[in-house]
Amino acid sequence: MPSFVGRYERFVWDVQELVCTHADGEQSLEEAAKALPAPIGPLCARTVWRWMKRWQGYMDKLDSQFWEHVISLHPTIRMPRGRERPTHRLRYWRQIWMELSPSKVNIGLFHGLYRLRQSKSASMV
């Protein structure tokens, strides 16, 4: 199975990331669902809600592994703190992920989280 889409998924990680990022404080779930043009969208707001819940759960489980990965790729990365730190975790993680040089990370955040999740479950076996 390719790593850019999950099993039984109809949408690739990049589409889910785009929609969820918009729904993370920038737009309502309904607006984010309708923002995708045809033939991909519009989506049902419940789909966006399910994606948000799932990815927030993944982020909860992968928090330390995500930061270990980021720091291993870019030990001197400047991470915003205090008032500079975004209030929405998904947007914050995406900002940090996009600051990594393209030579080190050339995939989207959700694709990267999926790979981290797979490597975590493989190491547990």
How many domains would you assign to the chain?
Answer: 1
Taking only the tens place, the pLDDT of each residue in 47-86 is: 999 999 999 999 999 999 999 999 998 898 888 788 887 7
Residue 108 lies in a domain: yes
Residue 63 lies in a domain: yes
Residue 4 lies in a domain: no
The structure's pTM equals 0.81
Residue 20 lies in a domain: yes
Angle CA(101)–CA(103)–CA(107) in degrees, nearest 5?
85
Task: For residue 27, give its domain range.
Answer: 13-124
Ordered DSSP codes for 51-82 = HHHHHHHHHHHHHHHHHHHHHHH-TT-----G
Q: What is the number of other CB atoms lying within 10 angstroms of the CB of residue 60? A: 9
Residue 106 lies in a domain: yes
Residue 3 lies in a domain: no
Residue 53 lies in a domain: yes
Residue 15 vs residues 21, 26, 31, 35, 77: alpha-carbon distances, Å: 10, 16, 15, 11, 27
Packing angle of the helix pair 45-73, 13-23 (nearest 10 deg): 100
Residue 67 lies in a domain: yes
Q: What is the pLDDT of residue 82?
A: 84
